[in-house]
Chains A and B, each alone.
Chain A
């Protein structure tokens, strides 16, 4: 009975099971502001730590162990270089994050070396949270957190959505027939 009624996205395909194919998702990009914001935060925090290190090195008040003073410049420059490298990688990774919304499930694809696709059926959602940090608020962004019984370790999160999109998705989920049924 329910099989004939089953639809997920595109109704023109042949069998119901073929409709639910995650290899043919209509992937959407996150907000344009998300990756640059993350990059800025990452670079700033890396530079801040570097600055702290430099201050420790230059300060005249405390006499630190000789070996520490010897290796500090080397370690610090290594840290800064690696840190900035990671910032670049994270930026590319952020740029590649995508999400997809279908009638019955949400998907999030991410990863640089390890490509991941997370899929969350809407019937299994327990509750949703819209999370906005101070910087996200400043840029008009929001993260959508979706909780299932899979536990806190497996919270499905869509980061870097514009506030409008996030609230739109939230409304879609809250009004979803599958969710309404299970309370």
Chain B
């Protein structure tokens, strides 16, 4: 208790005197980085202009110097100015922030509206012991607040205070507050570590997660340049690509081998990027539990901390792609309300708690911890109707294939026709797998969904989390006594297509009944 006394003072000060507080000067650094990030984020839009002025740049190479000087001084001015105008204060259950250089913003955020509190520690804050406190609301992204530079321990305390604050002090909540109160003093002792990811796990995650393609997509405009550069570099090393790939001087197998090894090289490079990305975002990953709250901490450069009360959890999803199947790993996603995703704010993405590349046993243990007495892995799933195959293969795939095949055969192109037969078989197989995987089940407390292609994904959520339901039936489906069900949750929607009509009705009626009779708040 002794050690926290000066902090209490500081907090007390922030509390009682309704004085506007200033940030610590370290925040200037934060604003400067934010400015740089803004510039680089918009560099895509500036590219055409840059390309246009490239020729004039070549004439006056020293124009870079004033440009950079200008940029740096601008950055400095913006950062210092932002710091100068930034003020914040706390009252009993309110946080207020004033900021903005040109457009002045004043934000007033009652604690009860705060949905999520995140602690963020960029690398340049770690030495000085500061942190950013990000406050998310259930509403729009405009209402998001970020306290840019607080001493780490003050930030921790504020987080505790905000999280233990409840909108309605009903009996149950009061109880919880008391629990929290007792926990607060011995907080670090009571935090229970649920999961931890080692470096090798993160490497596996880097391999299986396809973030490579994002990088590939981002590089797309530069492919030509890269190819040219590569060619030049190789040329200077005495390797001539054009010569290597020349069919007149080399045998076909040689050229194929070159192409193959080149592709492998590129793939390896991409793979290492992916692994790097995984390590940067998940380094030192821990998932722990304190009272009813789940806390995720990770990050190599910027340490992120996401804290989520169990009541805010909307849905658990266990995802397994084909690569995960080979490595026997699983990604577990704990999804919260998604309202902010509409605004594409970057913080909304980290609203999900992802547990990367865990083993099936660990995943089951976690799901059991989150949702006790769930039957996700021993309940019998109701399969969707075989009409799915008629619809996908019969109405969609077959007509296209017949058309293409007859066209190709008309031109006597037997080779292509063979390839088409193979493709048809592969796609039919995939549709078949998808059909086999898709199923739905529900019991007294939870709704379960199984789906996937090669790997199998499992979804589980408490029935009372449903926001809205949709029953859908085409004329054709009615004839076959089938119907599709869509359940809309705060984190997104879940679909079970082509169920027997009575099952569809039963599922929706059950969900509506649970939502309306339980009286449990969804958040």
Interface size on A, as a range, is 35 or more
Whether the pair A117, B471 counts as a contact (CB closer than 8 A) is yes
Whether the pair A20, B519 counts as a contact (CB closer than 8 A) is no
Whether the pair B342, A2 counts as a contact (CB closer than 8 A) is no
Which one of B240-248, B380-388, B401-409, B462-470 contacts A? Answer: B462-470
Contact of B512 among A20, A113, A116, A148 (CB under 8 A): A20
Which one of A26-34, A67-75, A150-158 contacts B? Answer: A150-158
Q: Does A178 make an interface contact (CB < 8 A)?
A: yes
Contact of A123 among B472, B473, B519, B523 (CB under 8 A): B519
Contact mask for chain A residues 91-131; partner B; CB cutoff 8 A; 1 contact, 0 none: 00000000000001100000101111111111110000000
Known pairs A2-B518, A121-B512, A124-B522; A148 contacts B467 (CB<8 A): yes
Whether the pair A154, B475 counts as a contact (CB closer than 8 A) is no
Known pairs A113-B475, A115-B478, A150-B490; A123 contacts B515 (CB<8 A): yes
- B487-503 residues with Cβ-Cβ distance < 8 A to A are 488-490, 492-493
Q: What residues of chain B lie closer than 8 Å to A116, measured between beta carbons?
A: 470-473
- A130-161 residues with Cβ-Cβ distance < 8 A to B are 148-152, 154, 156
Whether the pair A22, B493 counts as a contact (CB closer than 8 A) is no
Q: Does B53 make an interface contact (CB < 8 A)?
A: no
Q: What residues of chain B lie closer than 8 Å to A117, measured between beta carbons?
A: 470-472
- B503-523 residues with Cβ-Cβ distance < 8 A to A are 505, 508-510, 512-513, 515-519, 521-523
With both beta carbons as reference points, the residue of chain B lying nearest to A2 in the complex is identified as: B517
Q: How far is the CB of A112 from chain B (nearest CB, A)?
A: 9
Whether the pair A22, B505 counts as a contact (CB closer than 8 A) is yes
Q: Does B474 make an interface contact (CB < 8 A)?
A: yes
Whether the pair B522, A121 counts as a contact (CB closer than 8 A) is no
Q: Does B167 make an interface contact (CB < 8 A)?
A: yes
Q: Does B338 make an interface contact (CB < 8 A)?
A: yes
Q: Does B354 make an interface contact (CB < 8 A)?
A: no
Dominant SS among interface residues on chain B: mixed
Q: What residues of chain B lie closer than 8 Å to A121, measured between beta carbons?
A: 466-468, 512, 515-516
Q: How far is the CB of A75 from chain B (nearest CB, A)?
A: 25
Q: What residues of chain A lie closer than 8 Å to B168, measured between beta carbons?
A: 183
Q: What residues of chain A lie closer than 8 Å to B515, measured between beta carbons?
A: 121, 123-124
Whether the pair A2, B519 counts as a contact (CB closer than 8 A) is yes
Q: Does B194 make an interface contact (CB < 8 A)?
A: no
Q: How far is the CB of A92 from chain B (nearest CB, A)?
A: 13
Q: What residues of chain A lie closer than 8 Å to B513, measured between beta carbons?
A: 6, 8, 16-17, 19-20
Q: Does A58 make an interface contact (CB < 8 A)?
A: no
Whether the pair A22, B519 counts as a contact (CB closer than 8 A) is no
Known pairs A148-B468, A150-B488, A183-B167; A113 contacts B474 (CB<8 A): yes
Q: Which 10 A-B pairs have the closest CB atoms?
A: A149-B490, A150-B467, A150-B488, A104-B516, A117-B471, A20-B513, A148-B467, A6-B517, A121-B515, A119-B469
Could you jot down 16 A-B contacts, CB within 8 Å? A2-B518, A8-B513, A104-B512, A114-B472, A117-B470, A117-B472, A118-B469, A119-B469, A121-B515, A148-B488, A150-B488, A151-B342, A151-B488, A151-B492, A178-B519, A183-B167
Besides the contacts A8-B516, A151-B339, A152-B342, what 12 more A-B pairs have beta carbons closer than 8 Å? A6-B517, A20-B509, A22-B471, A22-B512, A115-B473, A117-B471, A121-B466, A121-B512, A123-B516, A148-B467, A154-B493, A182-B521
Which residues of A are in contact with B by a Cβ distance under 8 Å?
2-3, 6, 8, 16-17, 19-23, 104-105, 111, 113-124, 148-152, 154, 156, 178, 181-183
